[in-house]
Amino acid sequence: MPIRAVGFDIDGTLYPAAALYQKLIGKSLPKLRFLIAFGRVRRELRALLTSTEYRDRGIQGIEELHRFQSELVAKRLGADQERVHNEIEAFFYTASVAPFATIAPYPGVAALLDQLRAKGYKLGALSDFPCDKKVELLGLANKFDVTMTSEETGLVKPDRASFDLLAQRLGVRNDELLYVGNSEPYDVKGALGAGMRAALISKNLSVRTAAEYTFFDFSRLGEYIESRNGN
At residue 37, φ and ψ (nearest 5 deg) are -65, -40
- What are the boundaries of each domain within the chain? 5-16+104-228, 19-99
Backbone angles phi, psi at 56, to 5 degrees: -70, -15
pLDDT, tens digit only, all 231 positions of the chain:
799 999 999 999 999 999 998 988 887 878 899 999 999 999 999 999 999 999 999 999 999 999 999 999 999 999 999 999 999 999 999 999 999 999 999 999 999 999 999 999 999 999 999 999 999 999 999 999 999 999 999 999 999 999 999 999 999 999 999 999 999 999 999 999 999 999 999 999 999 999 999 999 999 999 999 998 876
How many angstroms separate the CA atoms of 40 and 42, rounded? 5
What pLDDT score does 27 carry?
Answer: 79
Beta bridge partners of 6: 123, 178
- Give domain 5-16+104-228's CATH architecture: 3-Layer(aba) Sandwich (3.40)
Sign of the four-CA dihedral 140, 167, 212, 206:
positive
Q: Please, which residues bridge with residue 198 across strands?
A: 179
Count Cβ atoms within 10 A of the Cβ of residue 7 and give its class: 0-12 exposed, 13-18 middle, 19 or more buried: buried
Q: What is the DSSP string of 100-118?
A: GGG-PPPTTHHHHHHHHHH
Query: Peptide bond before 158: cis, by omega within 30 degrees of 0?
Result: yes
pLDDT of residue 231: 65
Tens-digit pLDDT profile for residues 67-90: 999 999 999 999 999 999 999 999
- The DSSP code for 145 is S
The number of residues in the chain equals 231
Record the pTM: 0.95
Give pLDDT tens digits for 25-65.
887 878 899 999 999 999 999 999 999 999 999 999 999 99
The burial class, CB within 10 Å (0-12 / 13-18 / 19+), for 188 is: buried
